[in-house]
Amino acid sequence: MTSFQEFKNQALSLINGWNEWCWVTHRQRVDEDGYLVLKLYKNKANCILTSTTSSSIRNDDNQIEDNDIDMSIVDSSVNSNNNNNNNSVDQDTDIHIYEYHVIFSRSYQVPVLYLNVYKKDSTVLSWSDIWNTLPLSKYDSSSHNIVPYFSQVEHPILGIPFYQLHPCETPNLMKQILSVSKEEHDDEDNNNNNDTIENLQQYFLSSWLSIVSPLVGINIPLHFLKYMSNK
Amino acid sequence: MATTNNIIQYKEFSSLANVSFWHELSSKKLDVLKLKEDPLPVNAYYSYSTSQQLDPFLCLEYNSFLLTKSQSSNNNTTDRYFEPPTRSFLSNGILYNYNTAEDFKQSPKAKLFEDASKQIWNDIKSGNIEKDPTLLNRFIVLTFADIKNHQFYYLFGIPALLPTQPFETIAPTVTLEETYNEQQIQTLHSSLQSSTLPFFLIKNNADSSISVGSIDQWDSYFNDIEVPTVGFCDPCALSSNPGWPLRNFLLYLSTARPNVKKVRVVCYRANIKVSGEQTISSIVLTVALNSNTEWSGKSVGWEKDTNGKIAPRFISLASTMDPMKLASQSVDLNLKLMRWRVMPSLDLETIKETKCLLLGSGTLGCNVARCLLSWGVRNVTFVDSSKVSYSNPVRQSLFNFEDCTPKAKEKSVAAAESLKRIFPAVNATSHVFSIPMPGHSVSASQEEAVKSVFENLEDLVKKNDVIFLLTDSRESRWLPTLLARYHNKQIINAALGFDSYLIVRHGIREPNANESDTGAANLKGQDLGCYFCNDVIAPTDTLKDRTLDQMCTVTRPGLSMMASAIAVELMISILHHPIKGRAQAETETDIYAGASTPLGIVPHQLRGFLSHYQTMPLFGHPFKHCTACSDQILEEFKNRGWDFILQVLNDSTCLTKIAGIDNLNQEDVNIDWEIDLSDDDDDEKDNE
Ligand SMILES: [Zn+2]
């Protein structure tokens, strides 16, 4: 993957087959801008929320006056404690929002995964809490030390702290994968060698995502795999 | 006539203000708003829900303070505009930020909410909705931003205007699939896929195809049709309830289309296949519209807190905004990168926990501290008695000009402060005293003061794990050597000459718990010589020392950095050995035989020569008559404590007697207390 434009093209075509991803741009009329965003909502058991429950809603249509609103603000230090110990019945607080960004790195010339996880009220989960929910942490359980594939960095566009899956191994990994598939293709067809390499390059992003996703808790939808195999 | 059971119940919005939104509000408040309390336009969006367990969210993010292109008055093409993400829909809001908790409490909440409601009603009456249907989705948010503590209080109001009579369904709720055929549903999906219309019209064409249009196409779409079909993008995923946006839309329809008695409403929930491979099914309602319906003047939609009460919500973002926490976490993760990339067995936890005492805060002290910091050591204690002088900052990497003037700071104090400025999470402390030295006699009047210094030093030795001996004189190294030996603490001793240096790790008496004579080779413990053992045991080396010592006031500037770095790296190697400081002294030959730690060998001494750019690992046994570390000396200290120390301070010659050197060939003995080992440097001695 040698240019931002290539990344963008592949990203937009990826969204066609996997429409949970969004393409987000930040500046108008700047060509080299934009990245992929995926938000997953998971509950405490770390399952992506999809199941069906019915709830009965009763709208309370009473007009609210100033006095009806309890504006009491507890001393902030006390309040923050309260907040942690609050055994609230609100299931929202159990929801973890996983925000995945895929941003093109010009220096490594590869897509880079960024991750942040927070609750509905914006409380950000600690790294150890996040790490333990990532399947990657299970791969690592055999070794004595926790292997950190992640570092905390400033989000290159938002400027706020995000966790970055370090890109330094990505080029090697992709070289291997693409060369393996290239050999397979070569066996089938020796005539179109150059075409094959180009063809494979155009699946850089989706190939990489299909390797990385399971490690970081993104389920690849079946329909996307079908979509890929049709291509 | 419908019963009250048919009154439509709507799923309310729940606000989802992202971390990036609060970051943006903080910087807005600091840079732009300051103390102003002007209302600010903000933009939010809502999307289709991917789960019935998820509330419909009204999302605010990093870009919520940007205007949309149509809200913006100037047409500057380089401006950034707010744009909702794909498959998301705009909601216009106003943010009222208050500077104090009191103002926040006293804010005219009901009035602000009513103002927003009136605005929606005006837009309905004036026909603005036809041009911009997103105007039905207004909201307000009241905030109190406690920037200093990274805490925010906020209260959202998302007004739904109550009609004089509630809207009711007049037919059972059905699914989209029961209403349209596959072809028609496909048309619906493709028409709405990249649409930004929150509300729309659906027309059944004569050829059984359907068309989707914007609400200002009403007349061309529904000429003479009794039950028109409208739709809205529904953020709710429940099987029997529509989401909040429908409320104002129905009021708009009944007001703008007084002749329509019935309307079919497609609550469109997109076609998003979530990872579980289920889709949220869209539902279709049939609703009665009453031509007499007006706005009742009342509206509802305050967001409740987590206890179901209408009250402000609270969020603390200290973990992502507190620079202290951010720096600590970043430093830790960065070091872990080394573990991941190079050395899985790197024991960062032990390094972090290791408490280091730095005796001497000059060039060596500063550089050792910096190197410890880069390794993630969090506990550093500085001891020095001198003050920062004008010549120091250029060589002593923790100081700068301000430490010398207008009043010279104590070196240890300035070093600890500087270390904290570099990395606030470090626990850096300082002590100002000079280490009692043999032969520097103590007068009766000084005795109490010197005794308390001695006690303080012993206490520090006990409290720390590794003691770096970085002082600028040989005598000052004696007492710490004795104390560390006595308390089984690791000493790493660094000394500089003009262009050579010496790093020694002193031996430890007590065997390590992991030691075993029968186990693997690297589990066999070994005692090693100290800095003073060297002198007597190898007179020829002492000659080399002399070239080192005599040049004490000048050293090549790079030397201290090299020596400091090697001293710290030696400590790191020791920490990675299974029996720590009892590790056998390894030399170059061991490198090829297979080193004892993942980092390589753990040598006893390192002697470096800058003149030929070489560092050599050396090894020396403990000298059984050593004046600092031998059993006789320790025994004397054990029995007499401070009395013994005081005796030595007043007359150092007693040491050779106690250690038993006096019985040896006098020619082999070479103790010269007056020889200085430099810590660098051009320090004026009278500073001490
Ligand atoms: Zn010794």
| Identity of residue B219 | D
CATH number of B168-301: 3.40.140.100
How large is the average pLDDT for residues B566-593?
90
CB contact under 8 A, B311 and A64: no
Chain A residue with minimum CA distance to B240: A54
**Cα B62 to the chain's mean position, in Å?**
20
| Cα-to-centroid distance, B56 and ligand 1 (Å) | 74
Question: Residue B31: pLDDT band by 50, 70, 90 thresholds?
Answer: confident
| Identity of residue B271 | N
Question: CB neighbours of A17 closer than 8 A, spacing ≥ 6?
Answer: A206, A223, A224, A227, A228
Give the full edge-to-edge strand order of the sheet including A150-154: A22-24, A35-42, A96-105, A110-119, A161-165, A150-154
Query: Given this model, what pLDDT does residue A145 score?
Result: 44
Interface of A with B in 14-73 (CB under 8 A): 19-20, 22-29, 37, 40-41, 43, 48-66, 68-73
Neighbours of B559 (CB within 10 A): 21
Is B552 an active-site residue?
yes
Q: What is the dihedral of CA B432, B530, B489, B429, to 10 degrees?
A: 20
How far is residue A36 from each of residues A115, A141, A150, B210, B329, measured CA to CA in Å? 12, 30, 19, 33, 26
Query: Given this model, what pLDDT does residue A68 score?
Result: 84
Question: CB neighbours of A170 closer than 8 A, spacing ≥ 6?
Answer: A108, A110, A111, A112, A208
When CB atoms are compared, the residue of A50, A80, A88 closest to B50 is A50
| Cα-to-centroid distance, B551 and ligand 1 (Å) | 24
When CB atoms are compared, the residue of A69, A76, A144 closest to B345 is A144
- Dist. CA B178–CA B239, nearest whole Å: 14
Average of per-residue pLDDT values in chain B: 86
B110 vs A68, residue with greater confidence: B110
Q: Which helix (H) or strand (E) holds B380?
A: strand B379-383
Rg (Cα) of chain B, in Å, rounded? 39
Flag the least confident range among A180-189, B85-94, B534-543, B668-677.
B534-543
Residues in A closer than 8 angstroms to B110, CB to CB, are 64-66
Q: Could you tell me which of B490, B480, B481, B537 has the C-alpha nearest to residue B510?
A: B490
| Cα-to-centroid distance, B622 and ligand 1 (Å) | 6
- Dist. CA B638–CA B661, nearest whole Å: 20
pLDDT above 90: percentage of residues in chain B:
57
Neighbours of ion ligand 1 (CB under 5 A): B 530, 532-533, 626, 628-629
A82 vs B137, residue with greater confidence: B137
Q: Which residue has the tokens 């009453």?
A: B290
- Dist. CA B543–CA B332, nearest whole Å: 45
How large is the average pLDDT for residues B157-177?
93
How large is the average pLDDT for residues B121-134?
94
How large is the average pLDDT for residues B158-166?
93
* B215-247 pLDDT tens trace: 999 999 988 788 999 999 999 988 888 999 999
Rounded (10°) angle between helices A204-215 and A222-230: 160
Domain ranges of chain B: 6-161+313-320, 168-301, 345-622
CB contact under 8 A, B53 and A150: no
Q: How many residues does chain B have?
A: 688
| CA neighbours closer than 13 Å in the CB half-sphere of residue B237 | 24
Residues in B closer than 8 angstroms to A58, CB to CB, are 9
When CB atoms are compared, the residue of B104, B109, B320 closest to A160 is B320
Is the model's pLDDT at B688 over the cut of 60? no
Q: Are B168-301 and B345-622 in the same CATH fold?
A: no
A178 vs B274, residue with greater confidence: A178
Query: Given this model, what pLDDT does residue B602 score?
Result: 93
Identify whether the C-beta of residue B161 lies closer than 8 Å to the C-beta of residue B248: yes
Identify whether the C-beta of residue B145 lies closer than 8 Å to the C-beta of residue B97: yes
Flag the least confident range among A43-47, A166-170, B51-55, B510-514.
A43-47
How large is the average pLDDT for residues B181-195?
88
CB contact under 8 A, B275 and A90: no
* A124-182 pLDDT tens trace: 888 888 888 888 777 655 554 444 478 888 888 888 889 988 887 777 777 777 776 66
Is the model's pLDDT at B565 over the cut of 90? yes
What is the distance in angstroms between the Cα of B524 and the nearest Cα belonging to chain A? Answer: 24
Is the model's pLDDT at B661 over the cut of 50? yes
- Dist. CA B557–CA B652, nearest whole Å: 33
Identify whether the C-beta of residue B157 lies closer than 8 Å to the C-beta of residue B141: yes
CB contact under 8 A, B62 and A62: no
Q: How many residues does chain A have?
A: 231
How large is the average pLDDT for residues B140-165?
92
Identify whether the C-beta of residue A54 lies closer than 8 Å to the C-beta of residue B240: yes
Percent composition of chain A: helix, strand, coil (DSSP 3-state, to 5): 40, 20, 40
- Take residue B453 and report the two structure tokens written for it: 């210094």
B389 vs A19, residue with greater confidence: B389
Q: Which helix (H) or strand (E) holds A174?
A: helix A170-188
* B428-455 pLDDT tens trace: 999 999 999 988 888 999 999 999 999 9
- Dist. CA B284–CA B230, nearest whole Å: 10
Q: Could you tell me which of A53, A167, A157, A16 has the C-alpha nearest to residue A105?
A: A167
| Chain B interface disruption, residue of A57, A115, A146, A209, most B CBs within 10 A | A57
Flag the least confident range among B111-115, B515-519, B606-610.
B515-519
Give the full edge-to-edge strand order of the sheet including B379-383: B427-431, B379-383, B355-359, B466-469, B490-496, B500-505, B605-609, B614-618
| Strand B283-288 relative to strand B229-233, pairing | unpaired
Chain A residue with minimum CA distance to B88: A22
Question: Residue B286: pLDDT band by 50, 70, 90 thresholds?
Answer: very high
CB contact under 8 A, A29 and B151: no
- Take residue B236 and report the two structure tokens written for it: 């709710």
**Cα B330 to the chain's mean position, in Å?**
5
Question: Residue B673: pLDDT band by 50, 70, 90 thresholds?
Answer: very low
Please state which architecture CATH assigns to domain B6-161+313-320.
Answer: 3-Layer(aba) Sandwich (3.40)
Is the model's pLDDT at B552 over the cut of 50? no
Neighbours of B209 (CB within 10 A): 12
When CB atoms are compared, the residue of A28, A80, A149 closest to B340 is A149
Query: Given this model, what pLDDT does residue B306 score?
Result: 77
Flag the least confident range among A96-105, A161-170, B121-130, B145-154.
A161-170
pLDDT in tens, chain A (231 residues): 778 889 999 999 898 888 788 888 776 545 667 899 998 888 766 666 544 444 567 788 788 888 888 887 764 444 444 444 343 334 455 788 899 999 998 888 889 999 999 888 888 888 888 888 888 777 655 554 444 478 888 888 888 889 988 887 777 777 777 776 666 655 555 555 555 556 677 888 988 898 888 888 898 888 788 777 776
Is the model's pLDDT at B382 over the cut of 60? yes
| ipTM summary value | 0.76
Class of domain B345-622: alpha beta
Q: Could you tell me which of B99, B153, B146 has the C-alpha nearest to residue A73?
A: B153
Which neighbouring-strand residues pair with A150? A165
Q: Which residue has the tokens 């003037």?
A: B405
Question: Residue B537: pLDDT band by 50, 70, 90 thresholds?
Answer: very low
| Cα-to-centroid distance, B480 and ligand 1 (Å) | 12
| Identity of residue A137 | S
Query: Given this model, what pLDDT does residue B672 score?
Result: 44
Is the model's pLDDT at B613 over the cut of 50? yes
Of residues B552, B626, B629, B654, which has the active-site annotation? B552
Chain B residue with minimum CA distance to A152: B330
Q: How far apart are the first and last CA of chain A?
A: 19
| Cα-to-centroid distance, B620 and ligand 1 (Å) | 10
Query: Given this model, what pLDDT does residue B666 score?
Result: 53
When CB atoms are compared, the residue of A29, A69, A79 closest to B314 is A79
Residue A145, judged by CB atoms within 10 A of its CB (0-12, 13-18, 19+), counts as: middle
Question: Residue B203: pLDDT band by 50, 70, 90 thresholds?
Answer: very high
Residues in B closer than 8 angstroms to A86, CB to CB, are 306
What does the angle CA B128 – CA B130 – CA B135 come to, to the nearest 5 degrees?
A: 55
Domain ranges of chain A: 4-229
Q: What sign for the dihedral angle of Cα A6, A8, A12, A17?
A: positive
- Dist. CA B148–CA B104, nearest whole Å: 17
Which of B93-107, B276-290, B298-312 has the highest mean predicted lDDT (pLDDT)?
B93-107
Residues in B closer than 8 angstroms to A123, CB to CB, are 315-317, 319
When CB atoms are compared, the residue of B54, B81, B336 closest to A41 is B54
| Cα-to-centroid distance, B624 and ligand 1 (Å) | 8
- Dist. CA B269–CA B56, nearest whole Å: 11
pLDDT above 70: percentage of residues in chain B:
90
CB contact under 8 A, B19 and A26: no
Query: Given this model, what pLDDT does residue A122 score?
Result: 80
CB contact under 8 A, B240 and A126: no
Backbone angles phi, psi at B352, to 5 degrees: -60, -35
| Identity of residue B140 | I
| Identity of residue B526 | Q
